[in-house]
Amino acid sequence: MRPMMVDWEHHAKNILAAFRATRAQHIGDRWFEELIETLKEACPEFNDWWKQHDVQNYIQ
């Protein structure tokens, strides 16, 4: 059986796009903005990708 190859970056960017769409529901919420700043500091990929402004429709 061959190991399954996962495109981690592709999936992470999709999750980030959904996260950005969720943020639209929380514009101005201080806790959400603080979470974003914490993630930008903790993860270089998050920081770089956040600047790309990709948004995905996400329905819960």
CA–CA separation, 48 and 40 (whole Å): 8
Long-range contact list for 52-55, CB < 8 A, 24+ apart?
A: 53/20, 54/13, 54/16, 54/17, 54/20, 55/17, 55/20, 55/21, 55/24
pLDDT value for 14: 87
Domain segments of the chain as ranges: 9-50
Q: What is the mean pLDDT of each run of 10 residues along the chain (60 residues)?
A: 73 88 89 94 92 64
- Does the predicted TM-score (pTM) go above 0.85? no
